[in-house]
Amino acid sequence: MPTLWARSINNNRITAHVTVPLEDAPHAALEDACRALDIPRPMWLGKHEREYDRFGRTSFLPEHFIEGVGFDRLEIERVDPDRPREKTWDPRSEA
């Protein structure tokens, strides 16, 4: 079953992280993750929707929160253990 990994990052270091089940919509899982991390829920903008749909991850900056937060960014990422890993193109394997 896929999960959503949420992590708060401050000075390029993960300060807190949590994984929550991802059943259908990332919005509900994000709300659960924010509740577990004890942080306010960010605004979900079109930018976040496009990044999540295309890459399976997105990040929220402090200006995406109505209340003040104590970190530089909040990143969320879809983790699906059943999905096969994608291989990156490597020119050395072409020879």
pLDDT at 93: 72
* 35-77 per-position pLDDT tens digit: 999 999 999 999 999 999 998 999 999 999 999 898 999 999 9
Whether residue 88 has pLDDT greater than 80? no
In terms of residue numbers, what domain contains 18?
Answer: 3-81
Q: How confident is the model at residue 95 (pLDDT cuts 50, 70, 90)?
A: low
Specify if 19 maps to a domain.
yes
Span between the terminal Cα atoms of the chain, in Å: 38
Specify if 61 maps to a domain.
yes
Specify if 37 maps to a domain.
yes
Of 75 and 88, the one with more pLDDT? 75
Specify if 57 maps to a domain.
yes
Q: Is 75 exposed, middle or buried (0-12, 13-18, 19+ CB in 10 A)?
A: middle
What is the rounded distance in angstroms from the CA atom of residue 34 to the CA atom of residue 43? Answer: 12
Specify if 11 maps to a domain.
yes
What is the rounded distance in angstroms from the CA atom of residue 72 to the CA atom of residue 13? Answer: 10
How many domains are there within the chain? 1
pLDDT at 4: 92
* 14-37 per-position pLDDT tens digit: 999 999 999 888 889 999 999 999
Quote the percentage of the chain above a pLDDT of 70. 94
Q: Which two tokens stand for residue 15?
A: 């300060």
Specify if 92 maps to a domain.
no
